[in-house]
Every structure is written in C-alpha cells, then in structure tokens.
Amino acid sequence: MSQTQSRVPIIVTGGAGFIGSNFILQRLKHGSCSIINLDKLTYAGNLRNLESVSADQCYEFIRGDMGDRALVRRLLERSRPAAIVHFAAESHVDRSIRGPADFITTNIDGTFALLEETRAYWTALDADEKARFRFLHVSTDEVYGSLGPEDPPFSESTPYAPNSPYAASKAASDHLVRAYQHTYGLPTLTTNCSNNYGPFQFPEKLIPLMILNAKEGKPLPVYGDGMNVRDWLYVEDHCEAIATVLRDGRPGETYNIGGWNEKPNLEIVRVVCDLVDELLPRKESRRELITFVKDRPGHDRRYAMNAQKIERELGWRPRETFESGIRKTVCWYLEHEEWVRDVTSGGYREWIASHYSV
C-alpha cells in the first residue's frame, strides 16, 4: 500500500476560508491524513489559498454546499472518512447585522443537514470504525456574550448569551452538535476559539483591513472609542489546537482555544501602524490615519478565553506570542500583493465604503 493510500481520509467543510485553508495546509504538511475539502466558495472562500497543494494526491476539492444532503451523502459513501472537521460558516458580525438570513441558512440549517447525513453514515459503520470516527465542530467565543472589565474569562461552563445574529447562529449550531452526541451517541467535539489573525484572512476583518489601509495611506476606521477588548490567537496555533482535539479530545467535550492575549482594538491598530511604519517607512506616522467611526449595534465590550482545560487535559498551548504573530502577519500581507488584489474586488471595496462611514 502506498503512503497516499494509507493516509486516513477526513472531510473538511469550508476549507477554502481563512482558518480552514490554514488547517488544510498544516495537516498536509504534517502528512497524517488525506483531505477532501467541501466548500461552497462564497465571498470569503478563496482557492488561491490552497494553490500550493492543488496537485497533491492527498488533497481533493469539491465545490458544493454542506446543506446539499444528496451531495454530502455521496461524498461520505465514496470517501469513507474517519472524521469531519466542520469550519463552514458565515462568520462576520457586521455582515450578520446587515443581513442575518444567510447566517441562519448556513450556520444552523447547514449544520443540521451535515449532522443528519453524518449520523446516517456513522450509524452504518462497523464497531471499530464507529469508535474511531469523530465530528469536530469549530465555533467561536462570541456565543458566550460580553464580559465586564473585571469578569473572569469565558470557560467551557460559561452560559451562552449571544448578542449578534452571527453569535446566535453559532450558538444554535453548537447546541445541535451537543444534542446529536447526547441523543444519538455521535462522537462529536466542539472547539470555541478567540479572535484569529494571520495569513489568508479576508480583508474585512480588523487586522488585515488595518494593514492594507495603513500601507495605502487610507483612513483606519475604529469603532466607538476603540477600547473593545478581544483575545487574539494566531491562526496556525489554532489549527494545531484543532488537530490536538481531533486526535486526543474526549467525545462530547468542548474545548476553549485562546491566545492568552487580551488587547483593546485601538492598541492592535497602533501596533499595526508601527510595524507598517517600520517595514515601509514614510515621513508621517500611520497612527495619524486612525479615524473613530460610529460604533456598530450591540458591539460586545470584552471577550476573554480561559484555555486551561485544553492545556491541562491535552497539553496544548499557543506557540506564538502576540508580538511574534502580528509581525509575521503584517509581513505576510505586505509580501502577498497579488493575493490581496485578487480578493479585494470592486464589490468588496463598495461594501467597506458603505459600512465604515464616519
């Protein structure tokens, strides 16, 4: 049997997105599995992220919707995966405020359809295959709501209190995954992560938007007073954590994944400005481009993650400090102008212009 044939197959949903594509690249480099990437290719999905592995015999791309149950059924029957890693989701709070319907369709209805087909597939496996199979659902810290300045960080037992349509749709999908484990015995795992940053992130998100605007000398829009706090996690650390949970996590459990980096948005923007100034010097500091704009509706004040469980039980802790991770990220965006041009289409620019008004 060849090395390619001996690799365990897994299905990744949403693998052309930011975190999914980083996960696929990392896992194929690690060489522990073959991967089938099922992605609908919405605005944030970009196959250019995966150009380096497009010819890899251990990688296959299928364009399709996880809500297409017939497609998912055929894919499961053909590939006989040992695991499903479920990234596919609408994931931007601002977009969910403007148009929540897509978030309900993808994050709730789509996850339900995927769970139903997975349950049917898993039920038909033999005892050994059933015991090895895993369904890993990738979720967010936003399901927990907002923290006050002195509140303890979110733990796995923190009650859910989602405050945006996006967070509510992810909370609903988390509950579905939990119910399928409890009711049907499907061996599920859930991870709730803090704010990711790093290569291949769509430039509507804070860090890449600030890098690119700072490079081009454009205004740097900051919501409200800029003191909303987030815990920042470098994407490659997140992907390693997911692989650790997939390998060693206990079915039915939830694991919080955080970077131990609580920082207000304004500090993040200033750090980005200073790094761009260092790498692309100009006479004026990019900090002068910072522009405060009207706060978005229901903007959660603080997120923070207690990631002690995954460290204690599975031995994972992030490798990158914020200082090392943000430098790598700024350098990546400055060095990949062609990728940036490809994703920043006219439609994207119009959306940014309409949304971030002073």
- Report the catalytic residues: 141-142, 166
**Residue 154 · residue 144 · CB < 8 Å:** yes
Exposed/middle/buried for residue 325 (C-beta within 10 Å: 0-12, 13-18, 19+): buried
Q: How far apart are CA 299 and CA 286, in angstroms?
A: 26
DSSP 8-state assignment for residue 109: I
Whole-number Å distance between alpha carbons of 159 and 318 = 25
Q: Which of 344, 22, 358, 47 is nearest to 215 (CA)?
A: 344
Nearby residues of 42 by Cβ (< 8 Å), 6 or more positions away: 90
How far is the first Cα of the chain from the last one, in angstroms, to the nearest whole number? 62
**Ramachandran sector of residue 185 (left: φ over 0; alpha: ψ -120 to 50; beta: rest):** left
The residue among 306, 220, 328, 321 whose CA lies nearest residue 265 is 220
Strand partners, 231: 262
Distance, CA of 199 to CA of 151 (rounded, Å): 31
The residues with which 36 forms a beta bridge, in sequence order, are: 11, 60
Burial class (CB in 10 A: 0-12, 13-18, 19+), 292: middle
Q: Which residues pair with 234 in a beta bridge?
A: 197
Residue with tokens 């400090």: 321
Strand, coil or helix: 201: coil
229 contacts 258 by C-beta, under 8 angstroms: no
